[in-house]
Each structure stands twice: as structure tokens, then as C-alpha cells.
Structure 1
Amino acid sequence: MLAIVVALYFLYRLAFPKKTELPKSNENIPKKRNDETSIVGQSRVVLGYRSQPPPTPATASKSDNSEEKADTFAEENASEPMEIDVPAEYENESEEPGNEDVDTNEEAEELRQTLGSEAELAAGFSYEEMDLAVEAVSQPESENEAEAAEVLYRLEHTECVEQLAAVSPEKALRIKSLISLHVQSIELTDEENRIEDTSDFNIADFLS
């Protein structure tokens, strides 16, 4: 009976031989890691802006054509006369020689029209005196500055002077300087009179 069982076992092994497993070698593991490393190194991430198609060279060709056209037009216009810059002192007609007096007179006339008939009656001044004041305000250098300064000083807080000062900031500054000039002349006159009074003082006149 035992012999039969042993014979059947050998027949079974002959019919279905047992697969022998080869021992795992250490060389397979690093090779697998190298493959993984190579796969990781070869993988690429495509960014959004890099995934866009590269610009076509059509724009460059257009710009080149425009530059060529610009050069062509420049060569055609090269024969035309160049523009000549006008000197700064003659750039405006008001600054040309001979026009300063005309502009000043026109400006003075505008100031006279601004004042109207009130100028003759304001503070008892005549039209001629008011005309001197208007001329002094319009012209930086006037021969009658002292007289005009007195007129403006006496009319400092009147509507006439306020209308003159409202014409422009330059006119207001000019009026202020003329009034200050008259104030200085008054102070100088008072100081001179005070010195004369003290020089004539004699104490003997009071002791006698």
C-alpha cells in the first residue's frame, strides 16, 4: 500500500513538476530605481504660457516694411527746405521792436475803459491824474511814478483801484508796489521834518 502511494506521488510530480523560484538578485533593485529616476528626469511639465504657439514672423516683416517706407519718404523729403526756428525775442508779435509802445497804450486804454467815468470823480482827482495812475500801472517804468503812487495811495480802498487790481495779478502787484513807494516817501518826509524841528530847538528860549 505504501509503495502504491509513493508511485502515485512520483507520477504526480512527473505530470506536474514544481516550479522552482529563482532567488532575487540585488542587481534588479538598483536597475529599477535607475529606470524610475530616468523616467522622473525625462518627464516635463508644460506651462500655460509655453503651451501657446510661438509668434509668427509676420509682425517683424510688417515693421521692416514700415521702416523701409519711412526711409523712402525721408529720402524723398530730403530735398525740401528745413524749417528755421524764429528767435525767441521775435517769436511773438508783442515782443517785436516797436510793438511794446502800441501794446502798452492799448492796455492803458482798456484800463481807462474799465474805470469808466468814475475815475474823474473818485476822491476829487481829475481825469489827467487818473490817466497818470493808469499809465504807471501799465508801464513798469514811468516818469510820473511818484504822482501816480500818490493817486493810488489815496484811492487804495476804492472801487477804482480794486477794478484795476482785478485785471491781472501783475497789475495788482504793480499797484501794491506803487502804494508802498508813496508810503516810504511819506515816512522819509516825516523823518526829515522831525530832524529839522530838533535842530532848531534851543533850550535857552525856554529859560529866558
Structure 2
Amino acid sequence: MAAKFARTEDFKTPPCIVSFAQDLFKPRQQKGGKIKYGCTLIFKNKDRPALEKKVGALIVEQWGEKGLERAKKGLIKSPFLAGDGKEARNKETGELHPGMGEGVFFIRVSANEDRPPVVRYLDPNIPATPEEVYSGCEGFAVINGFCWNNVENGDGVSFGIQYFQKTGEGERLGGSGSIDPEKWYEKIEDTGEAPEETQGGEGAGGLFG
């Protein structure tokens, strides 16, 4: 019989900025093989105590008062990640990802493939679109915390997401829509059919040979 792990009730987050918003609409394969929905939620540091209180109570429920000491020593994997820390940086360049920096922290939230999060904007009954809910927009989420244990990482706490609602616009954090097409658009003249040698899709075949 699988072990039962503690879980919080669903609760509303403080205001946040959403990143990797595309994963709210289309699930992707995670490390380990599971396919999940999800996103990253970026908060101001002043909002961290409210979320830490939820996680602290959860840790006590799962591991008792000694769990808090274990968490402070880094023996329980934290769901809170510093906005200027290692996880906030590009692994290859070391540069901070868009939206990250001092004064903020972030959490990663997920939902199983068979339980996609509800995403809304202007109407509670009409699903929001990826064009409306983009990385960089403002909003809040309804999430829950849950405890876990696995052989590779030991004990930890993570967050699931049930709902995200956009509440305002924001600066787009990279990806499609981050560039102004009117600035770069060039009118293309129709010169007729493509040369015969390129019609089979092999015109650039020598570039990567």
C-alpha cells in the first residue's frame, strides 16, 4: 500500500507574475517521464511568509515538530527558490531568466495530465487563451502544497495548481509575442512558383550535410 502524504487544502496565492505560461495549456514531459501541466509563479519577497506558514504547518503534519528543524537544515527539499539563485539562472550562460532577480522568489507548480488547471481571464465561464495568459502577465493561482518522498531526492514539499486567473497585463518574458512585428515586418513580393529544385523540400539539404 502506497504511503499517504500530507496535503493542504486549496488556497489562493498572493499576486504574482506567471512564467512558462504555455505549460498551463499544453502539458509537457517532465524529468522522470511524467507528462504534466504547470508553470512558474514569481512573487515579491514580502509575500513569502504567507506561503511559508502554509508549508510549515504541512511539514509539522507530515513529519512533526522535528520536521521544521530538518527543513531549516535543508534536509527537506524546499519549494521556494530565490529569484537571484542558481535555479533562476540559465544553466549554460549563468544569466538570470527573464523576470528573475533580487527582491523576488518563485515556486514551480504542476498538475497531472488528466487534471488540467482551469485558466480564466475576463469571464469565469470562458477558458482563457494562450494569447491572453502569457508569460509576464499578472494574476493569482489556487494551489495546494503536498509532501513527498523518493529515493533520489529524499523528503520534500511541492505545489499543485488547480486554477490560474489573469488580473492584469505585464511585460512579456520572452517567447512568442516578445517582439514587435510591425518594427521588423518586410513586405514579400510574390515572384511565382518556387524553383523546381526546391519544391521537394531539399533546397537546403546541403547546409547540414
Please give the TM-score of this superposition, normalised by the length of structure 1.
0.21
Indicate the structure with greater helix content.
1
Work out which structure has the larger RCO, using CA pairs closer than 8 Å and 6 or more positions apart in sequence: 2
Q: Which has the higher strand share?
A: 2
